[in-house]
Chains A and B, each alone.
Chain A
Amino acid sequence: MIEFENVSKSFQGKAAVSNLSLNIKEGEFTVLIGTSGSGKSTTLKMINRLIEHDSGRIRFAGEEIRNFDVKALRRRMGYAIQSIGLFPHWSVAQNIATVPQLLKWPKARISARIDELLDLLGLEAAQFRDRYPHQLSGGQQQRVGVARALAADPEVLLMDEPFGALDPVTRGALQQEIIRIHQLLGRTIVLVTHDIDEALTLADRIVLMDNGQVIQQGTPLELLTRPATDFVRDFFGRSELGVRLLSLRLVADRVRSEERLAGEPISETLSLREALSLFVDRQCQQLPVVNQQGEPSGVLHFSDLVHGEKMRGENASAP
């Protein structure tokens, strides 16, 4: 969908991105992560040409992005940023309608699309349509920001630290929301963040950047289990590595389905990290597990959290 080929960009002689090659596949949730100044935001903004690259080639849908009309290109890509950037003098409905109006959609279609998006983002349409941004909470504003980015059904959604300014609870809720939307719509999403847990939660594919270069890219599991350099290992935190690994796995992966146990059950859709927390909280070695329908599906053993990962880690590095 989006290909970077030996792309470089420098600001006043200082390289922001150098010799970057990257391939973002259609429908994939890619997270660009790195410290501040690593060039991740620059990389994102080069995709919709808010920043023009100096050399190399960037292709969108197989064609060099410089061949597109810049406005037409941007209208095919949704764009959401940390400070949201909603127009304060426009109502929620007008804000969401921005790109459809630029594309000259008929009124009725725009109106239906606004209701559909507000519904998708969990905002009551009748209640929110005519409000102004200053009448919304931070989380609601960011939901409207995401709805606006999705308005014209873009082929790619670009997000620059969209949840950076939100409190942890709201951020968590919106992360779940964006995962759901990604699964539902199957859009290609490119998201920039410096929050490691956010990257692990959201990404199909993580691109770790430093000093304008890609250090390693791969699935979250690959980056955690097979770090290419010490930098990668340090970045994902040596001491918290294990816990982060657990956060990528579900209870369902480790449940012993032949066993049964009495007691208050946990859901098999929880992550192993949450299960670990429950083991400590309840001070026990085994927990009964139920599936999504609430039927007993087995027992989770504390020891399996430890052994299972080692086994999987070896499996993963085998081929």
Chain B
Amino acid sequence: MRAFSFELRPTGLRPDNRGYRGTPFLTVAQNVKVKNKALEYYVGEMETFPTLSAGAVTVDMTMDWPFPQIFHSGDGIFICTRTHLYQLVYASGTWTITDRLAAYTGHNVNWPWTFADFPGTPVFASANVLVYYDRTDAAWYTYDKNNSHGGGSNWSSSWYQPVSICNFRGQYIAVGSKTTTTFPSQTRIIRWSDIGRFGWFGHTSDERSNEAGEMYVNADSDEILLRCLPLSTGIVVYGTFHSYFLRPVMDPPTYALDLIGGIGISNPLAVGGDEDMHIIVDRRGCLWALAPMVDPRNNDYMKPKRLGYEEFLYPLVQGCDPDTGTGMVSVVYNKWENEYFISNGTTSYLFNEEGLTQVQRCVSGLLDMKEVRLART
């Protein structure tokens, strides 16, 4: 009887489940990642964040998915949870820890944090509360219109706190609100600040400079803008049903809005990446990659690429409820390995440019101490 030799080169989980036979794709691939067209053992290359304390303050690193989130900038390390926003600063051989959410008592943060990395004036936005540093007052403020918790004067008391905020070339970009208002609803608003300061159109902007502005996306009133994230020459704004590309234009200096398509996300963390590429888990659990293309006129435009994997990712987006902060799918980009952890607190996948696999660790935040350049203590 003749015998045949057959070789299979496994390449990660299958992008769709249409039942092809004999493909190199897998239906289970646990604790591996695809690297150089092979599968190697991998659960996530990281050290456990240590317990930190200074004086009477101890940083609560208890995992309460999708918290704690970790950010860092020249103003220190920020560890954000449902009840705390710790700022860790290292100076003259000493660490100091300050809770910038200490004044916001009696309320929990369920919506995830987003961070605008502005040197000297960092800003954090959850749909529950806005936290910002006012350089003029030399003070941190917390603002929550829903609970009549007002702080500072640089954000209008008639506005709800934004769902997401980011820094794009020296301007704050803030989008959405979790609370629907009378037409036009603040859930669909995009605001951009003065250049270099936390000043907003219709409130504290310098109107002579004609830099700050706002617009509403042309969408159904059910649309909520959930995330803004810089990509190449502009900012991608992700909503519940659509995504948009906000690109700067001159004469006068302002922004124009292009519709990317019907890619909607379930919560602000369902997209991750850097200025070169975004990875998105849409509301149907489909994975997308968004990267800039260049048209013949040398203008960037955004072309989403459908990657699939609904079979594995749809269970992650089911049960996602940002209002209670439960079951939220989160995409955390590990730029040092160029990989993305896609997790909902109970299941975790790892995506890189070679494929998708499952790993044991649900990652809510990453920090490279070498990059932060903190001295050893």
Genuine A/B complex: no
A residues neighboring B (CB under 8 Å): none
B residues neighboring A (CB under 8 Å): none
